[in-house]
Structure formats: structure tokens, C-alpha cells
Structure 1
Amino acid sequence: MKLEFKIVRQTEEASPYIQAYHLDAEPGSTILDCLNQIKWEQDGTLAFRKNCRNTICGSCSMRINGRSALACKEKVGDEVERLQAIAASTPNSTNGTVPSITVAPMGNMPVIKDLVVDMQSFWDNLEAVQPYVSTEARRVPEREFLQTPEERERLDQMGNCILCGACYSECNAREVNPDFVGPHALAKAHRMVADSRDGRTNQRLEQYNKDMSGVWGCTRCYYCDSVCPMEVAPMEQISKIKQAILEKDTAPYSRAINHRRTLVNLVKEGGWIDERKFGLRVVGNNFRDLQGLASLGPLGLRMLVRGKFPLLFEPSEGKDEVRSLIESVKAIESKHL
């Protein structure tokens, strides 16, 4: 099949530009196969990373038609079908005679050249969560780090991460908050929280609970889950860390924690959220945050003027069932932490 590859090219600190290449490829060829063909037969100056070519090393992660993916995993036939399906569902779209595939460098990292990015921040943020077992048992060298099959099974999903950077590339929180460590780091962080051999669980939870650099910096957009080639589900792991923090009675106060607890408690009480109590409990911290309470005044007045302030609250008829569901889910989650 005839293909057009539009590759976003760039040198360090220069403006990007698009260069088009035309080639013939089989539908079963991967994007990486095509990039190799372009480099070997048309343009030897094209720069990109690769290594195993078998979805193991994670080196060839890049943005393919707007989403981060592994070039060695994505086949051109599947990609063309996906683009055609999108075009068919889009009004006034036009299909070219030659399918066009756009390849760009990953996001949230500066470009070194073409499709090669500087991943230093990616590695620095991974190191920041200390993604290795740290335990007092290390002081006894003859002791083995034994685990039951069930304990080891809890680590399987996070252990599948190949550190390709796809989730980091698509992270909205990282894009607007340079202090956020990223979904890759927090997925590895949960592996440590769930590891029965680790002796620093409480200290880890305190670290991951800090301001907006840890789990509370996540915007829950689920982009990381959607692009992960190994189904690690970073967003799911972040949620598990949040749950572990919330279940600690000694967790220091923060508005993020209070927001989560209040939301769950209000739904348990009435089946849905009582907005009157929500602001007072979260922003006003149950009348302990006077500055927060004062900030609610102007908003409350505007709501009253526009008739949007709920004077009454009627609990849901199914509140008991909602409460039962919440407790059941928490019981299930606690078994996997």
C-alpha cells in the first residue's frame, strides 16, 4: 500500500517543521519498519530511537497521529483503518487518495532532534519516588525476601511497565504543573506501597501525599491509561495510593484529602452530594478555616441572586443501596492493597 509519512522534524531550540515522505509498505508493517525504510532508503539524517523492535524496551515511543504509542507495536494497516473510521464519522471530512500518517516527538519533554526527546525529567521524577524496595531486612544478608504467590501477584500489573514514556508524554497535569512527578512515577510508587517486602509504606504515603507534586496533582483525565501499551493503568494505581492515604487516620490535613473524604461521606449520607455542606466542609474545613469561609460569601450571594442555592436537600431513595455499594467496593479494594 502507498503511504505518506508526515514527520515533525526539529533540532534543539529551533522551530519544528513537517517533512513528507512517500513509500510502499505492507499493511502488516509497523510504523518503525516504515521509519527504518525512510532512514535507510530516503533520508539518513532522520533521527529516532529504537532498540528491541519487539515491544519490550520502550525506546521507540513517539506520537503517532496525535497519540503516544510504540512505533514497533503499531501497524500501518491498523492505523490507516483507525484514521478512515475517524474520517467517516467526521462531517465534511475528506479522504486523500494516499493515506497519510503523522509522526511527532513525545510531549512534555524538550526535543533534541526530530523524534528524539530529552527524557531527563522523566528519569528524575521516577527517582524522586524511590522506586525500589527499602527495608530493614537488608541488614540481614542471609535472609531471603519471601512472598506468597498472592503477595507477588499484586505487583504484576505495575511490573509490566517498560518505562516507554507514553503516559508521561500525554499527561495533562504534567503539562501545566512542572512539579507533578507524572503517572509513570506514581505507578511505580504504588508498586512499592503494595510490596510486602518494603518497610517504608507510611513514609512513602506521606511523600506521595505532598501538595500537588504527588497523587493529588493528577487531573484524572485517563489519557495515561488510554495510551499505555502494557495495560499498567497508571491512573488506577494513582487512585489506589489515594485510597491508602485516605484510610490512614494519621494522614495530615489537606484540602485534597478533605475533598475526597467529604465527597464520599456525603454520597454515603444522602445518595448524592449536598452542595450546602460540601463547600462548608471542604473550603471552610468545618468552620475551622475562616479565610476559606469568607471566600465562600461572594459565591453564595451570587447563587442566591440567581436562584441556584439549594435551600432544601432531599436524600436519594436509594441511599442505603449506595452506601452498601461504597462499602463493598472499599472492602474489595482493601484486599488488593
Structure 2
Amino acid sequence: MQVLFKVVRQASNSTSYTQSYQLDVEPGNTILDCLNRIKWEQDGSLAFRKNCRNTICGSCSMRINGRSALACKENVGSEIARLQSIAASVSEKFPTSNTQTAPIPTITIAPMGNMPVIKDLVVDMSSFWDNLQAVDPYVSTSARHVPEREFLQSPEERDRLNQTGNCILCGACYSDCNAREVNPDFVGPHALAKAYRMVADNRDAQTADRLTHYNEGTRGVWGCTRCYFCNAVCPMDVAPMDQIGKIKQEILDRTSSIQSDPQAEPTSRSVRHRKVLVELVKEGGWIDERRFGLKVVGNSFRDLKGVFSLAPLGLRMIVKGKFPLRFEPSEGTDEVRSLIESVEQAESET
């Protein structure tokens, strides 16, 4: 069948443009097979990365019709079927739309996002590797001086590492990460998925230090916006966002166990965020926005810099009439409080 491939091309520090190539292909041909044919038969100047062709190395990650994927894994037939399914869904929801069917199926291929383009589909992955290095993705056994002995693990302990161990560092999650797009300090879902592998490994001797590091501002786990894009595009089912959630829970659990005084205010803003949210919902059924910012950002007036940082936002809210002058508890507050307390009691007993 005839398929039109639209490839987004670009040289370093120049404007991108789209170039079209038409091929006669089989449904089972992979996108990488088609790119190879384009390069060998039509345009030898086209640049892209490839290596194993077997979904092992992760080299051929690129954006295929708007989502990051491995070119060696996706085939023409399944990609066209996916596009047709999307088009049918749009037509069903918007029957009066002027959507026209292309004369032949079209597949658009572009370089990965969140990384500068070197040439065509080849991107500079320096920030990807630097952020991976920043989480120190190596097991540390420096505190255990046991000569001539292996650090053995039970099957159950090893099984905890299987999912994150499947990561092939293809960059698909990093490419589609919304948090990384708006926050250049965020290390990225790939790094935090690897970070959880270290946290979950019972042989590691630096778990406490790691959790402190991953808890820092929006560079670590609290920078994740929970958009689920990383889970959706991961070709190896690593589910990076799920691993980020596990690190968050480890941080919260350790913080809770360290604090002997239940009335003490947690020093970490991220932990304070969770604690204050639960307290306010228990008290009023939903969140009192006036107190939430002061307690979380201002640490109940202990952090004056945080309090003053709220002033511009507060003034804009007042000017636009969006600052709540009073707070009214929601209906069913007692039931909400009872449910939360039941869950807390069950967790403490566990």
C-alpha cells in the first residue's frame, strides 16, 4: 500500500521544515524499516539514530504522529489503525466537522521533544544523561564491609526491581514530559524511575540520603505534574509516574516516623502540603484557601520569605474579586472527617 511519510527536518539552530516521501510498504513494516528505505532509496541526507532494531537499545526513539515511540517497535499497519480510530472518534463527537480523509495514509515523524535538535531526527541528549547522573543511579554498598561475600537477595527482594530494571533509557518519557517542558530544573521521569530502583534495592546503603535529595523542591519528585504522559509512551511498561509516586510515599512515611510530636510542623514544604491539606479537609470538608497558602508556603508565619512571596498573588486575587472573604464548611464534614480518621487508624495499625 502507498503511505506518505512527512518528516520534520531541521539543522542545528535553524528553522524546521517538513519534507514528504511516498513509499509502497507492507502493513508489517516498522517505521524504522521505512526510514531506512527513505534514506537508502530517496534521500541519503536524512539523519536518524538506530542500532539494534529489536526494542533493546532505545536508540530510535522519535515522535510518531505526535507521541514519542520507538521506530523499530511501531509498524505501519498499527499506526494507521490508530490514526483511523482517532479520526473515527473525532467524527463521532463532531459530526459536522469538515475533516477530510487524506488520499493516502499519512504518518508524520518528528524529533523528540525537550531536547535541542542536532540534525533532522537526531537530538542532543546531554540534559537527559546529566539528569540521570544527578540521581546517582548506582547501588552503594560502601557502608557494608563484608569481605568475600555476595550481597544476596531473596526472590521477593529482587522482584521489586524488575519493573524499573526494564528501562532502556530511550528518552520517550523525557521527550513527552510536561513538567520538564516548563521546569528546566526537573530531572525527568526517566531519572526518578531509576532513582526508585535504588530506593527499593535492599542492598543500597544510602537510602535516607537519597530520599532527602529527591525531596528537594521541584527538581525531584515534587516537580512531577502527574500528567501520565510518561506512562502512556513508555515502550517497556516501566510506568515512571508510578515509581515517582512510590518515592513520594517513602518520603512521607519516613517523615511521619521521624516526627515524634504530632503537632510539630514539618520542615519540608512538600510534606507540609500533604499534612495541611488533610487537616483542613478534616476540619471543614474542603480546603480553606486563605489558610492553606499561609500554612504551606509561609509555614504558619515561620517562613517570612514564603509569606511575602504570596503577596503578589493575593493582591491579584483581591483585585479580580477572587479572594474568599469567609469560609463555610461543606455539608457532610463529619462524615468526611470520620472516613479520614478511619483510614489513618487502619494505616497506623498496619
TM-score, normalising length: structure 1: 0.89
Q: How does 1:63-102 map to 2 (within 5 A)?
A: 63-90=63-90, 91-102=97-108
Letter in 2 for 1:312: E
CA deviation digits over 1:233-262, x for unaligned, max 9? 111111111121122235972333321332
Contact 2:144 2:205 in 1 (8 A): no
Query: Which residue of the partner structure matches residue 164 of structure 2?
Result: 158
Distance 1:298 1:43, change over 3 A: closer
Q: 1:195 aligns with which of 198, 201, 221?
A: 201
SS at match of 1:102: strand
Aligned-partner Cα distance in 2 for 1:157–1:327: 31
SS at match of 1:317: helix
2:251 corresponds to 1:245: yes
Task: Structure 1 unaligned segments of length 5 or more: list them.
Answer: none
Aligned-partner Cα distance in 1 for 2:69–2:278: 35
Q: 1:313 aligns with which of 329, 339, 345?
A: 329
Query: Which residue of the partner structure matches residue 216 of structure 1?
Result: 222
Distance 1:8 1:326, change over 3 A: farther
SS at match of 1:55: coil
CA deviation digits over 1:38-82, x for unaligned, max 9? 112211221111111111111110000111000111111111111
Letter in 2 for 1:88: A
Query: Which residue of the partner structure matches residue 35 of structure 2?
Result: 35
Aligned-partner Cα distance in 2 for 1:279–1:209: 20
Aligned-partner Cα distance in 2 for 1:25–1:279: 58
- Post-superposition shift, 1:288? 2.4
Aligned-partner Cα distance in 2 for 1:136–1:117: 36
Contact 1:267 1:323 in 2 (8 A): no
Aligned-partner Cα distance in 2 for 1:273–1:306: 15
Query: Which residue of the partner structure matches residue 108 of structure 1?
Result: 114
Count of paired positions = 331
Distance 1:208 1:306, change over 3 A: closer
- Post-superposition shift, 1:103? 0.3
Contact 1:269 1:323 in 2 (8 A): no
Q: 1:254 aligns with which of 260, 265, 268?
A: 268
Letter in 2 for 1:118: D
Structure 1 stretch 109-118 or stretch 282-291: which is displaced more?
282-291
Contact 1:9 1:18 in 2 (8 A): yes
- Post-superposition shift, 1:155? 0.8
Letter in 2 for 1:102: T
Distance 1:10 1:293, change over 3 A: closer
Q: 2:296 aligns with which of 266, 273, 282?
A: 282
Query: Which residue of the partner structure matches residue 167 of structure 1?
Result: 173
CA deviation digits over 1:179-205, x for unaligned, max 9? 211110010001001100000001111
Query: Which residue of the partner structure matches residue 21 of structure 1?
Result: 21
Q: How does 1:257-272 map to 2 (within 5 A)?
A: 257-267=271-281, 272=286
Structure 1 stretch 252-261 or stretch 96-105: which is displaced more?
252-261
- Post-superposition shift, 1:313? 0.9
Letter in 2 for 1:313: P
Query: Which residue of the partner structure matches residue 241 of structure 2?
Result: 235
Distance 1:299 1:114, change over 3 A: closer
Task: Structure 2 unaligned segments of length 5 or more: list them.
Answer: 91-96, 260-265
Aligned-partner Cα distance in 1 for 2:61–2:192: 19
Structure 1 stretch 52-61 or stretch 292-301: which is displaced more?
292-301
Contact 2:192 2:221 in 1 (8 A): yes
Contact 2:141 2:203 in 1 (8 A): yes
CA RMSD of aligned residues (A): 2.6
Distance 1:92 1:184, change over 3 A: same
Aligned-partner Cα distance in 2 for 1:213–1:237: 16
Distance 1:300 1:8, change over 3 A: closer
SS at match of 1:3: strand
Letter in 1 for 2:182: V
CA deviation digits over 1:106-145, x for unaligned, max 9? 1111111111111111111111111010113664341111
Q: Percent identity?
A: 66
Aligned-partner Cα distance in 1 for 2:81–2:174: 26
Distance 1:169 1:73, change over 3 A: same
- Post-superposition shift, 1:316? 5.6
TM-score, normalising length: structure 2: 0.86
- Post-superposition shift, 1:20? 0.3
Contact 1:275 1:310 in 2 (8 A): no
Aligned-partner Cα distance in 2 for 1:138–1:322: 41
Contact 2:285 2:329 in 1 (8 A): no
Query: Which residue of the partner structure matches residue 5 of structure 1?
Result: 5
Aligned-partner Cα distance in 1 for 2:73–2:206: 37
- Post-superposition shift, 1:312? 2.1
Distance 1:323 1:217, change over 3 A: same
2:59 corresponds to 1:56: no
Letter in 2 for 1:190: Y
